[in-house]
Structure 1
């Protein structure tokens, strides 16, 4: 690797972060991974990377720190907690925040870090674990020109599509919340439709074939319904992700006095699914919940 290529830190080695770290390594970067679990760190070392137990330890010497944690609270802890990285980052380093959070929170975190002279790029991601491992994510980014300049080598390695959406943190987060509103509604609708089809006694594999070639198809129907057909609810994206994200949308809608009744109904379906013991299962488990409350058998959940 060229000496001019920066070291990159990836904090959060879950399904998305691990794939992003793999893509960075494949692009030739020396990657330091950090995860709260020893198993996550050990998995990354076995894959050929380096690992550190805390964000502070992981960030030392890295020009680019990519944070792939779940929410704003975890992002704040990564930056400013007892073992946070803000104080040990290089003076001109950039922090790339990929967590989904409310726009005003992203703006506040950016202001706090930028006050130290470091850079913050608001860069939520979309595409799923497979695209993360392929370096083919969509990244919805906003921040200063300097933040983009410093982060670009890593962004190019992780993304097939990079949207530069503004010069201030918070804009990328706002775009991501629109995506999450649609994603949550489409998952809930797909699960409702396929379970309703099963209730009618239809061959749901045939329903999948027909709908994916018809106007009612959606990316989420095409992507999530196979989990239902196979009775496979191992989490690629968990139910609790959408209880969080649609909850943020509810908070934003109250603040803006803007009604979001369809998103609200979808949130209730995710919340009821979570309350039924499936919070950490795949979000296609909404179909299982429909099946259970209507007495409709589905593959693998009879």
Structure 2
């Protein structure tokens, strides 16, 4: 147990973006939170939320019981822990690193091996739910880690998750299940875009079509959630960004690599990935992922290409 654990549990949240900041705010309701982000704007927002911020990732992590990482990809994971930020050297033996991002099994297992040499456990805990649910502690978190490491991370996990599923005791099990989850989510978003674009092309009322579809067997969470947001693309600039399109470019790439590693064909996922890649090529990488409908609907595609 680290020194700070003898008093109030301390967690360093590194990465105060769309998910990191609401998670930090939620954790600060019960725990001592140290926050850091490379963006001064995000640090300012964190301070406004009552979170103590630090000038470097190392300072934020120093003496913490747990370090929660909300990074974009495996390269950022490597950089934060062992690269320029070099946070790993500040971690006390017995501390835990909680990785909430989807980066794939390879980077996670390699990172866990390096941390183990320092007496630090990695808790593989990718999550789903979006910023609002993060702030309310209503996330789905899937965990792969030894039980002893999970127990040391419990103060963090229990505050963030309304559904906490331990899928295995191996680091990488959480990433594996999240990869399967993202396969379905990416396909469902792409299918919703295709269906609504077809309905519009056939002259159907878009809102009535969506209501009918979500009430029947064709309904899904992504159709109901992203479908509403897709309709906003027809009325102007589109929906506010809750989940960037390039996140699914990354995640569907992880799905493809995982499938190739086990020699499994995933043709539907591959087709969905192409839609997200086309959206990125059209300049929509920073737009909400619901904007993938712009790749398919002729009038929206033309407008997106003109803007690009």
Alignment partner, residue 62 of structure 1? 64
1:236 matched to 2:242: yes
Q: 1:41-60 counterparts in 2 under 5 A?
A: 41-60=43-62
Q: Name the counterpart of 2:177.
A: 175
Task: State how far apart, in whole Å, the 2-side matches of 1:95 and 1:112 are.
Answer: 12
Change (3 A) 1:39 1:270: same
Contact map agreement 1:199 1:296 (CA 8 A) in 2: no
Are the aligned partners of 2:11 and 2:67 in contact in 1 as well (CA < 8 Å)?
yes
Equivalent pairs, count: 297
Among candidates 298, 301, 305, match of residue 292 of structure 1: 298
2:157 matched to which residue of 1?
155
Residue 26 of structure 2 is aligned to residue 15 of structure 1? no
User: Structure 2: how far apart are the matches of 1:123 and 1:23?
Assistant: 17
Contact map agreement 2:294 2:300 (CA 8 A) in 1: no
The offset of 1:294, in angstroms, is: 8.0
Measure how far apart 1:293 and its partner are.
6.9
| Matching of residues 124-203 of structure 1 within 5 Å | 124-203=126-205
CA deviation after TM superposition for structure 1 residue 295, in Å: 6.9
Displacement of 1:149 after TM fit?
1.2
State how 1:246-265 maps to structure 2 within 5 Å: 246-265=252-271
4+ residue stretches of structure 1 with deviation over 6 A? Answer: 293-298
Structure 2 residues not aligned, in runs of 5+: none
Contact 1:96 1:151 in 2 (8 A): yes
TM-score, L = length of structure 2:
0.92
Separation (CA, whole Å) in 2 of partners of 1:69 and 1:290: 30
**TM-score of the pair, normalised by structure 1:** 0.94
List per-residue Cα deviations over 1:107-150 (Å, max 9, x = no partner): 11111101110111001001111111111101111111221111
Change (3 A) 1:297 1:222: farther
Judged with a 3 Å threshold, the aligned counterparts in structure 2 of structure 1 residues 3 and 288 are, in CA distance, closer, same or farther, namely same
Deviates more, 1:284-293 or 1:181-190: 284-293
